[in-house]
Amino acid sequence: MIVADKKPMEEIIEDIKNHDKVLVLGCNECVTVCEAGGKKEVGILASALRMYFLNQGKEMKIDEETLERQCDHEYLEEIRNIIDQYDAVVSIACGVGVQFMAEKYHSTPVYPGVNTCFMGATEERGLWTERCQGCGQCILSRTGGICPVSRCAKRVMNGPCGGSSKGMCEINKELVCAWQLIVERLKALDRFDEYEELSPIKDWSTDRAGGPRKVVREDVQP
């Protein structure tokens, strides 16, 4: 899923302080799972903002809504009949939702209420870690199912680098070395001999480097 983290309240206040009617808009998908932008967080953020502006003596209407998804036309349409009541929206969906919202409601200011961080997994409640950078050319079959692009700080294709120490990465003693994991996994799969195969120079044109990407599937298009 896409993992996001809450933005500091001060940043959101700075964005909306000159507006009078604000909608805090959540999303029921990834950001709900990572507890940054679901219905619960909409309630908490809206209450905190109301409290703040009340203390400042500023009259401010702050309403709450949470959509099934903000990255989908269908669900974003659900607020078409109420959007004119607001002069700004704080979207606490991921960056995709914020942008889709801005595209759809062209004359309404939309501010992000979370920092979108990465594609990752829930290791335990309150701990999410990165697993994928969407490079567009998956190499997991060669690396024992562990991704050096997203999990190695230098995205080394033929690792580990010289900074791996006791299984940990040179940049942080609490960060496990991805190549240590790859080596252990190749051994567990009885494929350690593959370690000596050189990983070819990667084609990054399917990555961010190639510019904004799209997937076109004519077979499923209407």
Interface with other proteins by CB under 8 A: which residues? 153-167, 170-171, 177, 180, 183-184, 195-196, 198-199, 201, 204
Q: Which residue, 113 or 159, is less far from other proteins as judged by CB? A: 159
DSSP, collapsed to helix, strand or coil, labels residue 212 as: coil
CB of 210 to other proteins, least distance (A): 13
User: Based on CB atoms, which residue is closest to other proteins, 75 or 204?
Assistant: 204
User: Which CB, 35 or 207, lies closer to other proteins?
Assistant: 207
Burial class (CB in 10 A: 0-12, 13-18, 19+), 78: exposed
Least separation in angstroms between residue 150's CB and other proteins is 13
Residue 29 burial class via C-beta count within 10 angstroms: exposed 0-12, middle 13-18, buried 19 and up: buried
The closest alpha carbon to 117, from 2, 9, 37, belongs to 2
Q: How many CB atoms are closer than 10 A to CB 204? A: 14
Minimum CB separation of residue 174 from other proteins in Å reads: 14
Question: Which C-beta is closer to other proteins: that of 80 or that of 191?
Answer: 191
Q: Would you say how long the chain is, in residues? A: 222
- For residue 154, the minimal CB distance to other proteins (Å) is 5
- The amino acid occupying position 199 is S
Give the residue with the Cβ less far from other proteins, 9 or 188: 188
Residue type, 52: Y
* Cβ 149 to other proteins shortest distance, Å: 10
Distances, alpha carbon 30 to alpha carbons 78, 109, 127, 143, 181, in Å: 19, 23, 14, 27, 27
